[in-house]
Amino acid sequence: MSEIYHQRSDCRLCLSTDMDLAVSMAPIPIATPNFAIPDTERNAPVFRTPVPLDLYLCRDCGLLQVTHVGNPNIQYPNYVYRTSSSLGLAEHFTAYAKEVIEANALEAGAFVVEIGSNDGTLLKAFKDAGMKVLGIEPAEAVGADARKAGIDTITDFFSSDVAKQVERDHGKASLVIANNMYANIDELNDFTIGVRDLLAPDGIFVLETQYGLDVIESLLLDTIYHEHLCYFNVKPIQTFFARLGMQVIDVQRIWTKGGSIRLTTQLDSGKRSVSSNVEATVTEEIDKGMYQNSTYKAFADRISGLRTQLNDMVDAEIESGRSVVGYGSSVGTTTLLAQFGLTEKIAFLFDDDPTKDPVLSGPGYDLPLISPDTICDRFPGAVVVFAWRYVDPIKQKNKEYLKRGGKFIVPLPNITVHQSND
C-alpha cells in the first residue's frame, strides 16, 4: 500500500505558509467506516496509525483546515457511503434541485454536471426536470449504482484535465454542482479552475459544504475527520473565487450536516446580481470571531470540559462494576472516541446496520459491533450515544432498556443523560 497520508505546509486557498495551530485534536486513523479497504489486514497502518487531526487557521485568508491529508486513492475508490441512505437527504436534494432550477431560470435540456455525484440521487431530480446530466464520481461501486439507475457517470477524480474531457464530449455546463465534497479536496486551485473552465458564460457553480461557523458555534465535533480537510467560512472562499475570476453571488444557511451553507457562484463576466446575503454573512463571521485565535481556544476548552465530564461519568460506571458501551459506528464515532479519550473504556458498539464491518478498528482498539436487539440481555450500565443526532429514535427503539433502568449518555452539543423518567 502506498503512503497513507502526507502533510502540507501551505493554505489550500491562498497558498500562504503563515498558519497558526488553532485547535489541537487527538489523532485518528485514516480508515473509517465510510470506506472499505479490500485485502487489507486489520493491523495495517491505515487502521493502526494515529494521524494528526489538528486544525490550522490561515492568518492571510482565514481558512480553517486540516493539514494532514489522507491518500485519496485509499479513501475514495472504495467509498461505501450512499446518499440515498442518509435520513432526509434525498428529500432535501429534491427540494434543492427545484430551488436551483427556479432561482436560475434553468430550462429543459440544460447541461448539469455534479462532481462527487455518489449514487446519482441529486442528479436524478435534475434529470426528472428535463435536464441533461452527468456525474463524476471516484468510487467505482457507487458510480456503477448510479449508472444502473440511469445516471450517466464518469468514474474519476475531477480535475482541470477531466473538465477539458467533459467539455470535449458534452460541451459547456449551465450548472456545476458539488455537494458535501468541496471540503474533501486538497488541491482546490486546480479543481476550481476546472469548474471555471467548464462553465458556460452564463453558467453557475453551486456548492453545499459544512459551515465553519456552525462547526465551532454548535460544537459539531463529529464532523471533523480527515475526509473533511476544510471548514469553510464565506470570507476566505469569496476571496479565493475572486482570485480565480469568479464571484460568490449568494449564500444560504441550510440544515444539512448540523449546519451548512449553499454558495452560488458565477464567472466574473456573469450577469447575475450579488445578493446582500453575501456581505451580511461575512460581517456575521467577523463579528463572531471566526478569524481570531481566541475563538478556537474557546472551542478547544469546550471539548476539554466535555471530555472531563464524560470520563467522570464513564469511570463511575466502570468502578461500580458496570460496563459502558457505545451506540453507532460511523466516521463520527472514530473522531469522538479519540477526542473524548474513550477507546480503552468502551466495551463494544451497538449498531442498527447489519451490513457494516463487524469491528471498528483503530490505534490500540478493536470494538465489536453488536445488534441493539441484545441490549436488554447484555444490559450495560450506560450507553454513550455517538450517533447523538438520532437519540430520539434510538430511545424509542430501546424503551425496554430504559424502562429497566438503563441509561443513555448523549455527548453533544452538551452532555445529557436520558433515563426512563425523561
DSSP string over 29-91: -S--TTB--TT--TTSHHHH--B---EEEETTT--EEE-EEE-HHHHSTTB---GGGSTTHHH
Q: How far are the Cα atoms of 135, 148, 200, 321, 405 from residue 129, in angstroms, in the given order?
A: 16, 19, 20, 59, 52
Q: Is residue 73 part of a domain?
A: no
**Among the three residues 291, 321, 343, which one is the final residue of a domain in this structure?**
291
Q: Is residue 147 part of a domain?
A: yes
- Is the same domain home to 405 and 262? no
Q: Is residue 304 part of a domain?
A: no
Q: Is residue 284 part of a domain?
A: yes
Q: Is residue 250 part of a domain?
A: yes
What pLDDT score was predicted for residue 86?
62
CATH code (residue 348): 3.40.50.720
Of 416, 368, 421, the residue nearest 399 (C-alpha): 421
Q: Is residue 9 part of a domain?
A: no
- Is the same domain home to 262 and 404? no
- Is the same domain home to 257 and 346? no
Helix (H, G, I), strand (E, B) or coil at 118: coil
Give the pLDDT confidence of 109-150 residue by residue, as tens digits.
Answer: 999 999 999 999 999 999 999 999 999 999 988 999 999 999
- Is the same domain home to 262 and 406? no
Find out whether 200 and 173 touch, Cβ atoms under 8 Å: yes
- Is the same domain home to 227 and 341? no
State the residue range of the domain holding 331.
Answer: 311-418
- Is the same domain home to 251 and 366? no
**Among the three residues 240, 259, 291, which one is the final residue of a domain in this structure?**
291
Which segments of the chain have a pLDDT < 70?
1-2, 81, 83-89, 421-422
Helix (H, G, I), strand (E, B) or coil at 160: helix
**Among the three residues 225, 258, 291, which one is the final residue of a domain in this structure?**
291
- Is the same domain home to 322 and 282? no
* Nearest-angstrom CA–CA distance, 233 and 285: 7
- Is the same domain home to 107 and 238? yes
* Nearest-angstrom CA–CA distance, 96 and 94: 5
Which contiguous run of DSSP H or E holds residue 329? none
Please enumerate in sequence order all residues whose Cβ is within 8 A of that of 245, keeping only pairs 6 or more positions apart, or say none. Answer: 196, 267, 268
Helix (H, G, I), strand (E, B) or coil at 4: coil
Q: Is residue 263 part of a domain?
A: yes
In this structure, what are the phi and psi dihedrals at residue 224, rounded to the nearest 5 degrees? -100, 110
- Is the same domain home to 371 and 260? no
Q: Is residue 45 part of a domain?
A: no
User: The C-alpha cell of 281 is what?
Assistant: 454573512
What pLDDT score was predicted for residue 1?
46
CATH code (residue 264): 3.40.50.150
- Is the same domain home to 174 and 97? yes
- Is the same domain home to 216 and 135? yes
- Structural domains of the chain, count: 2
